[in-house]
Structure 1
């Protein structure tokens, strides 16, 4: 599949994976060799702040007005920026706010879960244009490749033919070590062991003709919160995502921290006290799988949990018990994390109805503040802002960030 070429692709050399090398500085440079860095800086600022005039960008970045004009003109010619209506001030020429162009580029985000797969087509502003879903008993490499081979052309066909060459890559959000914890999903160990020898990124690249990057699913969801999330975000926060198993992400100094193996903040195996006082892994009490198990034991159909994130059809008693135990488990995990890290906030999101997320967040806050907090500066407990699409959207954010954004946390802010 042909790919769009932009001014950034024609300038400075890139590091493996599409990340521009040497992006430690957040202010712009007037040297022509830093053109690609400056373009990423402008695009990152527009994503962070919304529409800005050239004078605003020059003031924030320290770039000369002439340099900003050259950059903006090139990005507009590449179709990455859109002009707004002129704004007249008291003196001088009217300013023209520039914003990201929705059709500037498109990205595919594949969420690969233990019960379902979602493939989403996302535009340059982060809006999901279309999604395809496949529900299964458990995932195998062959199932995923077959799904991608069918869904990628179908999604690209939803675009006008003139825009299809602007699909700029695919990100994959999936649990690492899918062959682990098979006893909880009832999958044959032999079938899941096929993942050990599968290079899924290379296989998907061969099927789709796109560049493909893989990231832990909860880490990707956390990345979606960073790139597309709304509201003020602290520089340091822990992120929980409720999927089949609970997962997590960690942001330190405004940057997504993935760790040596890419599996940092994998909160599921954390030991927390259960209601009987015995230590249990967080994933056994604060996961959708534990809710499904309780429903199945009571004779309730849990299959709809994997098909759609809302609405849920769960008896009040089962749901209440699950939310209480999950909140208590999260609170215990937050205490442990806060003893090691000075967290500004904890964000909670997941594959669930918005009202359930709000209630779990409320109960987690209450549980945390019932605990002994001596020596702990408790973080704010807040809802995430992305919702069920966070993993697929986070997957799409991977190629977007690789090609068009500065490293998270490198964007200059005012003040």
Structure 2
């Protein structure tokens, strides 16, 4: 992989009464660029060195920042890089999937401190709420008093209108319809006494890749996450674009074509549930696909044709989204072993090279690096960024 070019952010102000804005800006710069000296931060943020020095000292005293090893220059005193402190701020992230739920506690560097998983045939509100409530209590019991004070909220990533997926999930309609009347955020807030935010699951995965993965490398890109059902997200001008109704980048709903020429959605032609169905046809237990750590090597007979079909569908879908916006890259990740991801990316590149690209600019096809936990980590990032980082489209200088 080539060295990433990270564009600089410049949006600081020096007037009194806006320290919160400047704090967010400096934290965002440190998250984006890694350990950085105060003098460099001042230049990037267009702030005075004195202003930056004061803010850095205050945030260090609060436990948000940590000093790095001094770096000697040719002249003058050694510079001391500052970085986000390990465990400086914490948040719970919960992913509600069609086949499993994940609850984790992560810090604002994307490091997962604790994690637990619940596998099921299909999700129902009662058992899920019990799992999260119990999980939060257990994880809090593993935390020190200082860590508990640093927890700022819970982010929940789940599909929109989950109750509409009854047939494909394989759930009884009379049970699954419970989701229509459930406000999971309100329920969790009531039992945990923590602020709760919700986000679309695929958008959360995109957010995780954008913040903690390869998002620093690209200005505009589309993101595909292949789980039990494929989904996606869109990044425009260095920001994850959720849309006015929170459902932008619903790439799983892109049109595709079935084996008889019938109109289908991409999620019907490029999702792991198709591999599950194939295993079930041969009397094998599909749940083995979700056992952690994942190892699909014994299933090559079934995985290989699934990979071929999924890669073809991703190549066509990539060109479809690039017909709307000239994305420079398509980032692919999923709930599967890393070897499967790399094979899928390589096959998608090969299929893309053979597509009719008249009138289009061919995008780079790249592998995401966050992996199967992307949706839960992205969920955890939601309250963290709401409170500590810059959100929205920032003014960036290349």
Q: TM-score range by the shorter chain?
A: over 0.9
1:244 is aligned to 2:228: yes
> Are 2:210 and 2:216, in contact at CA under 8 Å, matched by a contact in 1?
no
Distance 1:190 1:381 in 2: 42
Equivalent of 2:192 in 198, 205, 208: 208
Q: Give the superposition deviation at 1:41.
A: 0.5
Equivalent of 1:188 in 163, 172, 185: 172
> Are 1:54 and 1:96, in contact at CA under 8 Å, matched by a contact in 2?
yes
Distance 2:12 2:166 in 1: 49
> Are 2:10 and 2:44, in contact at CA under 8 Å, matched by a contact in 1?
no
Equivalent of 2:337 in 353, 357, 366: 353
Equivalent of 1:374 in 352, 358, 361: 358
Q: Give the superposition deviation at 1:109.
A: 0.4
> Are 1:309 and 1:352, in contact at CA under 8 Å, matched by a contact in 2?
no
> Are 2:14 and 2:48, in contact at CA under 8 Å, matched by a contact in 1?
yes
Unaligned runs of 5+ in 1: 1-24
1:330 is aligned to 2:282: no
Larger mean CA deviation between 153-162 and 233-242 belongs to: 153-162
Larger mean CA deviation between 254-263 and 43-52 belongs to: 254-263
Equivalent of 1:362 in 332, 346, 368: 346
Cα shift readout 1:161-202 (whole Å, capped 9, x = no counterpart) = 222111111100111111112111210112111111111111
Distance 2:293 2:332 in 1: 15
Equivalent of 1:172 in 150, 156, 167: 156
> Are 2:32 and 2:216, in contact at CA under 8 Å, matched by a contact in 1?
no
Task: Provide the TM-score with structure 2 as the length reference.
Answer: 0.94
Question: CA 1:314 to 1:191, structure 2 compared with 1: closer, same or farther past 3 Å?
Answer: farther
Q: Which residue of 2 aligns with 1:12?
A: none
Cα shift readout 1:238-285 (whole Å, capped 9, x = no counterpart) = 100011100000111111111122111112222213455443221112
> Are 1:145 and 1:207, in contact at CA under 8 Å, matched by a contact in 2?
no
Number of residue pairs aligned between Structure 1 and Structure 2: 390
Task: Provide the TM-score with structure 1 as the length reference.
Answer: 0.91
1:221 is aligned to 2:201: no
Distance 1:404 1:110 in 2: 20
Unaligned runs of 5+ in 2: 1-8
Distance 1:330 1:60 in 2: 38
Q: Which residue of 2 aligns with 1:75?
A: 59
Larger mean CA deviation between 305-314 and 81-90 belongs to: 305-314
SS of 2:187's equivalent in the other structure is: helix
1:287 is aligned to 2:271: yes
Alignment of 1:227-266 (within 5 A): 227-230=211-214, 232-266=216-250
Q: Which residue of 1 aligns with 2:70?
A: 86
Distance 2:166 2:106 in 1: 32
Distance 1:138 1:252 in 2: 34
Distance 1:109 1:293 in 2: 29
Cα shift readout 1:269-305 (whole Å, capped 9, x = no counterpart) = 2221345544322111211100100111122221122
Q: Give the superposition deviation at 1:79.
A: 0.6
SS of 1:366's equivalent in the other structure is: helix
SS of 2:102's equivalent in the other structure is: strand
